[in-house]
Chain A
């Protein structure tokens, strides 16, 4: 981005950051994401000004909502403000479980025909704007919104079909675990997410993550080893535990890039 070159007092302003947003090497131009998802995104996070689309697969089996929640979680916990537009069925409980701070999350369930205006207004003030894409969005409106996000430095996450996004994430497959025939309960889901995009993200990638993971539902204490019926060998550390060093926190990224 052109905004990389900063001088004078602006440079000082860049240095002064709230303590809640610790910024390692990437600088605060990139909002953090969960370690499992960093491999999918070109800057290992949500780069400000970018458009990261989440594709909707077939209804009822997409897993897209969980993916959106997972994308927002780290940024929200680090102090960013998020908004979700046009998702009247948004499950706030799941958002809280994913780690999103609900008091920094605004919902606009029914934007109606004012959708472009609303999204544009939110881009001005909110760090991450998730929006369900209405059926008929002209390319010019889409381009203008993306340009506005680029200019204002917020991240636009269209949820639905969106041409021209920097990265498009898509859930390919999701397999739930924990439910048998008349017994058990839903515990966790292995989701295969693919990413393709332009520029640095042109090479398609695919990873498998647990969405939601089993840290909410594990019954057997960790000391006792793996959960019965769950084939993975090492139970992953809880998502919110601070692990020294970045890569150690990623044992759940089971498969590398495709």
Chain B
């Protein structure tokens, strides 16, 4: 913390929430307008102020003072959105703008003042440019440090270099923007920033804490916070407009291919790669279709073209309505395609597998699977990812081929098998098998280890059933006397199961059984709560089944085929 505070030019737009309401919602700011947040006035227009409305008033009080008041709700998003053009206008004149809050932005004064011939000229130029481009009135102030510049901007003053402490000394303590502290200081007899700054720093820290010490530094004009300059984000989106509306899918896919190559060039220029890609298509009638695609590697131009084709295929045909959430068919050709890279990360190069997994065979398999995806749709080809979970169905998540392989629930798979299982043959049932999850290859192992994995007590011990029914079959279990077998809330089985009836089939004799193994999941969320007891049964014909009883109903969950 050496050297003088940065010479700062601060641009302040008075009553910004009111102005933003005018810009966005068309509420005329020349009328009496107040912006309310939690029933308190946050900002008011000039005419409302003339009528006696002040910040902090209640709605009733404000309306009492000015009956023809227009009331607008506070919306920080609206303020920020409306301020964006102003910042852009300032950036056209001077570089390195920091937005302090909607309505206030600051920049280092040195550059513009040297370029435009003096601080006053620079401030005038910026104010004029903002007024011309955005029709927004603003005031500027120049001082050492952001805090002093903020106060200077309220008066439209230029504080000479090194003059900030004197400038601040006469301001009231309320200018610190800390009402509680200002109230306390006032009661202690400290009325101006100068008097506050005269207090010993150590005592201020001891009495008022860190925030008080910071305020003390500000009051003394020692505002060393550097400007956090906004860096305009690199615009990586690529867009193509078509004069002739594209109404054939293959033509659109062909166009997307060129677009994808542009995108790759641009990403490569910044040394970036994207893991998610948004594809946006706009028709001549203004319909839009946006969809985000994920990918675990890098999307090649051909892969992007494929995805455009799939997306448009689904849209144009309007068929394939699984889930029924498809948008309506478009009524006109596509006039604009846009590729929006998302999840951008620095490209470190794709790490190939050490033992040749990512080689020619991988390429071949990928091509074949992409073709099948082209035939059946992207969701028809899936890979399984093992995660945690208590039932065989819960542990498996099917992700479309090419997507990121993320398990649905955290946790080690029951026994991930494979080469990394170093001879640990004695895995206890229900215990977490000691293993290094081997299902992920090379590149994706970076952040996998540190996260503790939940143990999922109560899951089914291995071996895992080879046939897992997506919808369980209804079944009936009877004891030797023919009565139904019931499991009580305390997990007492009424009688030994002797016969199993699946669906309407013939009864099968149960020769071995084990259970009940209770599972009480998500009892804290009543909509998702499931309470089940599981059984393994072995039938006389050699089959083994995983049964569950839930709410008195027996179900066949899986088959040990």
By a beta-carbon cutoff of 8 Å, the part of chain A in contact with chain B is: 17-21, 58, 60-66, 69, 77, 79-81, 83, 88-112, 114, 117-118, 121-122, 124-127, 173-176, 179-189, 212, 215-222, 238, 240-241
From known contacts A60-B541, A106-B381, infer whether A125 and B463 are also in contact, taking CB-CB under 8 Å. no
Asked whether, in the complex, the Cβ of B381 is within 8 Å of the Cβ of A108, the reply is yes
Binds A, one of B114-122, B302-310, B323-331, B384-392: B384-392
> Of all chain B residues, which has the CB nearest A96?
B417
Expressed in whole angstroms, the minimum distance between the Cβ of B319 and any Cβ of chain A is 12
Asked whether, in the complex, the Cβ of B355 is within 8 Å of the Cβ of A79, the reply is yes
Closest 10 CB pairs of A and B: A125-B368, A18-B356, A92-B384, A93-B464, A179-B512, A20-B355, A65-B466, A81-B365, A94-B466, A65-B561
Q: Which residues of A contact B541 (CB under 8 A)?
A: 58, 60-61
Asked whether, in the complex, the Cβ of A176 is within 8 Å of the Cβ of B542, the reply is yes
Expressed in whole angstroms, the minimum distance between the Cβ of B77 and any Cβ of chain A is 42
From known contacts A81-B361, A176-B560, A238-B425, infer whether A217 and B417 are also in contact, taking CB-CB under 8 Å. no
Task: Count how many chain B residues have C-beta atoms less than 8 Å from C-beta atoms of the other chain.
Answer: 76
Asked whether, in the complex, the Cβ of B356 is within 8 Å of the Cβ of A61, the reply is no
Cβ < 8 Å to A, chain B residues 412-464: 413-419, 421, 423, 425-429, 438-441, 461-464
Q: Which residues of B contact A98 (CB under 8 A)?
A: 417
Expressed in whole angstroms, the minimum distance between the Cβ of B233 and any Cβ of chain A is 34
Asked whether, in the complex, the Cβ of B441 is within 8 Å of the Cβ of A103, the reply is yes
Asked whether, in the complex, the Cβ of A96 is within 8 Å of the Cβ of B418, the reply is yes
Q: Which residues of A contact B392 (CB under 8 A)?
A: 91, 93
Q: Which residues of A contact B558 (CB under 8 A)?
A: 91
> Of all chain B residues, which has the CB nearest A185?
B514
Expressed in whole angstroms, the minimum distance between the Cβ of A192 and any Cβ of chain B is 10
From known contacts A106-B381, A106-B401, infer whether A176 and B512 are also in contact, taking CB-CB under 8 Å. yes
In Å, the complex CA distance between A220 and B363 comes to 44
Partner of B426 from the list A21, A88, A107, A218 (CB cut-off 8 Å) is A218
In Å, the complex CA distance between A111 and B379 comes to 11
B246 an interface residue at 8 Å Cβ cutoff? no
In Å, the complex CA distance between A220 and B429 comes to 12
Expressed in whole angstroms, the minimum distance between the Cβ of B101 and any Cβ of chain A is 48
Expressed in whole angstroms, the minimum distance between the Cβ of A95 and any Cβ of chain B is 7
> Of all chain A residues, which has the CB nearest B386?
A96
> Of all chain B residues, which has the CB nearest A122?
B368
Q: Which residues of B contact A102 (CB under 8 A)?
A: 383-386, 439
In Å, the complex CA distance between A122 and B367 comes to 9
Q: Which residues of A contact B542 (CB under 8 A)?
A: 61, 63, 173-176
Expressed in whole angstroms, the minimum distance between the Cβ of A234 and any Cβ of chain B is 14
In Å, the complex CA distance between A240 and B414 comes to 17
B311 an interface residue at 8 Å Cβ cutoff? no
Q: Which residues of A contact B384 (CB under 8 A)?
A: 90, 92, 95, 102, 105, 107
In Å, the complex CA distance between A78 and B537 comes to 35
Q: Which residues of B contact A184 (CB under 8 A)?
A: 512, 514
Asked whether, in the complex, the Cβ of A185 is within 8 Å of the Cβ of B375, the reply is no
Asked whether, in the complex, the Cβ of B513 is within 8 Å of the Cβ of A179, the reply is yes
Asked whether, in the complex, the Cβ of A93 is within 8 Å of the Cβ of B395, the reply is yes
B559 an interface residue at 8 Å Cβ cutoff? yes
In Å, the complex CA distance between A63 and B559 comes to 10
Partner of B382 from the list A109, A180, A186, A216 (CB cut-off 8 Å) is A109
Asked whether, in the complex, the Cβ of B417 is within 8 Å of the Cβ of A100, the reply is yes
Asked whether, in the complex, the Cβ of B382 is within 8 Å of the Cβ of A107, the reply is yes
Q: List 7 additional contacts besides A58-B541, A60-B559, A93-B414; criterion CB under 8 Å.
A: A79-B361, A90-B467, A92-B396, A93-B464, A94-B464, A114-B375, A124-B371
